[in-house]
Chain A
């Protein structure tokens, strides 16, 4: 039972990684930008969610507000930061992205203080469900539900809607897709919007899970997200999801069996190194 619980906890972590990493891989697939500043969207989502939850007492309102705020910030970052430098080499956008992350992190510190805030009432955190000797709290269960629902919605969008098909065509061949009337700029904004809503919702969920929202909370998960999209095979969506879940599980077991040797956050990068030694193209990436 203990192992099953470790597995479940790992899967839950994997779900939060998946919500972050999907957005990163979307942006990379479309623009070849490593969107490190996604972390700041995640953190903004967490703060907005916390403020709304503490003022209204409604978590539903908190998620909606966080999704909207994050969904606005992501496309704004694209418009103001990335779009003007798209014709520069990719590392320019990466440096700009890291700059945005650092500036926003210090912005959060100035506005909300350096120590972090907690939810006034976090019943999800304090309520545990027990079944068959397993124990999970409500936050963990909601993380799993939210990830599955949001990823399914995304899959439906990508395969069942006109805009989704146009979006995939643009990833594949932007010039040809555009010549048939697809708005490439629209597709880019949409990708940032989707990525950011996912990140914002994930931010609130991770805030609830730790019952803490602090300025630097996005950094580690964002860097792990980058490791995950490399693991998955850059730009490969199924690979990214698989890598997210695997990493969550490896970390979950690692914190028990490797805790004398290395920190939890180091495990992700050890895992990255090991996998890349065996499969340099990533888990599901095509060999070139």
Chain B
């Protein structure tokens, strides 16, 4: 589905990530883990087209999308639930979803919206409410729902669990698993290593902009100390 080859990204003269090779397959949750400042968010934003790709290639369904504008990537099937959620606070839930499905026809958007509502019934209850008045967990559902409205094949999720109550974290992770079962490719960036490990089919660890570990979810779960050591958690424990 998505393939990064010798990928590097950054901001102007500052290169944040270098020489990254990563494959994100369909029907799988790939977790990109690592300490603060490792370049996880930059990688995700570069895949979405918001951060400059400074080297290598980004291939999506075999095509080179390295230089495409964000909207063109959305049209091809990449959607982003960004860090901090960045929903439109003054718009209602319905209006946020409308913008998410802006590239779709009215019929397709209605159909997709029904699927989003089935996944997150809470959004149905809040349908006419201003998004800024939702709880953190509801806002995260809305950010996911808005991304899903674009009918993506690849969903990029940045910090799913940050600032959410445990029950909400559970709900959101369960939704990701359901989406993956439906065949979506999910690339997840997460600080909550243990929760992400539990859900991930594939795990890659970034430290200071370099990939230092890659394994299947199963391997990584059997080997949590190994991941912890890369994350610098072992010394703390």
B71 to A181, Cβ gap below 8 A?
A: yes
B88 to A179, Cβ gap below 8 A?
A: no
Looking at the assembled complex, report how far the CB atom of A134 sits from the nearest CB atom of chain B, in whole angstroms.
39
A179 to B50, Cβ gap below 8 A?
A: yes
Interface centre among B75, B90, B102, by most A CB within 10 Å?
A: B102
B74 to A179, Cβ gap below 8 A?
A: yes
Minimal Cβ-Cβ distance residue in B for A182: B102
B86 to A180, Cβ gap below 8 A?
A: no
Q: Given B49, B89, B91, B98, which contacts A179 in the complex, CB threshold below 8 Å?
A: B49
Q: Which residues of A contact B70 (CB under 8 A)?
A: 175, 178-179
Q: Which residues of A contact B19 (CB under 8 A)?
A: none
B88 to A172, Cβ gap below 8 A?
A: yes
Contact A165:B98 (CB < 8 A) given known A173-B86, A179-B49, A180-B103: yes
A109 adjacent to chain B (CB < 8 Å): no
Contact A179:B99 (CB < 8 A) given known A165-B91, A168-B90, A172-B88: no
B99 to A166, Cβ gap below 8 A?
A: yes
B86 to A162, Cβ gap below 8 A?
A: no
Looking at the assembled complex, report how far the CB atom of B97 sits from the nearest CB atom of chain A, in whole angstroms.
10
Please classify how large the interface on chain B is, using the bins under 10, 10 to 19, 20 to 34, 35 or more: 20 to 34
Q: Which residues of A contact B34 (CB under 8 A)?
A: none
Q: Which residues of A contact B150 (CB under 8 A)?
A: 180-181
Bound complex: CA A169 to CA B90 (Å): 8
Looking at the assembled complex, report how far the CB atom of A109 sits from the nearest CB atom of chain B, in whole angstroms.
43
B161-200 CB mask vs A (1 if < 8 Å, else 0) is 0000000000000000000000000000000000000000
Q: Which residues of A contact B103 (CB under 8 A)?
A: 180-181
Q: Which residues of B contact A178 (CB under 8 A)?
A: 70-71
A176 adjacent to chain B (CB < 8 Å): yes
Bound complex: CA A166 to CA B109 (Å): 15
- Interface residues in B47-89 by Cβ distance below 8 A to A read 48-50, 70-71, 73-75, 80, 82, 86, 88-89
Contact A172:B102 (CB < 8 A) given known A179-B71, A179-B74, A181-B74: no
A169 to B95, Cβ gap below 8 A?
A: yes
B90 to A172, Cβ gap below 8 A?
A: yes
A181 to B102, Cβ gap below 8 A?
A: yes
Minimal Cβ-Cβ distance residue in B for A179: B70
Q: Which residues of B contact A179 (CB under 8 A)?
A: 48-50, 70-71, 73-74, 80
A interface list, Cβ under 8 A from B? 162, 165-166, 168-169, 172-173, 175-182
Supplied contacts A165-B91, A165-B99, A181-B102, 12 more A-B pairs, CB within 8 Å? A162-B98, A166-B98, A166-B102, A168-B91, A169-B91, A169-B95, A172-B90, A176-B82, A180-B74, A181-B103, A181-B150, A182-B71
> Can you sample 18 A-B contacts with CB below 8 Å?
A165-B91, A165-B95, A165-B99, A168-B90, A168-B95, A169-B91, A169-B96, A169-B99, A173-B86, A175-B70, A177-B88, A178-B71, A179-B49, A179-B50, A179-B74, A179-B80, A180-B71, A180-B100
